[in-house]
Amino acid sequence: MKKVILSLALVFTLGFSVVSCKETTKEKAEDAIESAADDVEEAAEDTGAAIEEAAEETGDAIEEAAEDTKEGAENAAEEVKAEAEKAEL
């Protein structure tokens, strides 16, 4: 996120600070803007990938917790049943 903001700041700075109308200056500014745009796009892709990975890990953790809860409930039910059978004897 920080990279995105810095890239955008660079684009605006370059856009407003160019006062010369020379062709080389325009080309340099265009190259800088293009580079900053590429950086912004790359940062956005990295952020999307990180969010997707975090969501997948969260889903895995939820599934594991649900499975553990199910096993715990089954074990508790078996223990209650065993105790009830002992009490009947």
Contact 18, 25 (CB under 8 A): yes
Residue 58 has pLDDT above 90, yes or no: yes
Dist CA 82 CA 67 (whole Å):
23
pLDDT digit string, tens, across residues 3-13: 777 777 777 67
Kindly list the domain boundaries of the chain, sorted by start residue: 1-88
Q: Measured on CA atoms in the order 4, 5, 9, 10, is the torsion positive or negative?
A: negative
pLDDT digit string, tens, across residues 10-31: 776 766 665 555 567 778 888 8
Residue 54 token pair: 């975090």
Write down the pTM of the prediction.
0.49
The total number of residues shown for the chain amounts to 89
pLDDT for position 16: 63
pLDDT for position 20: 52
